């Protein structure tokens, strides 16, 4: 279960990296689309941080019960 949680963290990080690339590529061509990718990047980074802290709490609780 913990391995799955680790993979989902890095999927969010990958989405953030792809979004940052799209922001760079689209900034001068279509500003509205670039703002959409800014939103995706911010949400993805926030979810990465949230999932990482949630996994650490889950691991601590699991180690405490052993």
Model pLDDT for residues 25-51, shown as the tens digit of each residue: 999 999 999 999 999 999 999 999 999
**C-alpha radius of gyration, the chain, whole number:** 16
What's the pTM value of the predicted model, to 2 decimals? 0.83
| Residue 16 dihedral angles phi and psi, to the nearest 5° | -65, -40
For residue 66, the model assigns a pLDDT of 73
* DSSP one-letter code for 66: -
Domain encompassing residue 14 = 2-65
* DSSP one-letter code for 30: -
Domain count within the chain:
1
8 pLDDT above the threshold of 70:
yes
């Amino acid at each position: 279960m913990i391995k799955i949680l680790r993979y989902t963290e890095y999927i969010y990080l990958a989405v953030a990296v792809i979004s940052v690339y799209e922001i760079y590529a689209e900034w001068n061509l279509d500003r509205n689309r670039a703002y959409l990718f800014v939103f995706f990047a911010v949400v993805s980074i926030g979810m990465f941080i949230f999932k990482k802290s949630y996994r650490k709490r889950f691991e601590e609780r699991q180690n405490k019960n052993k």
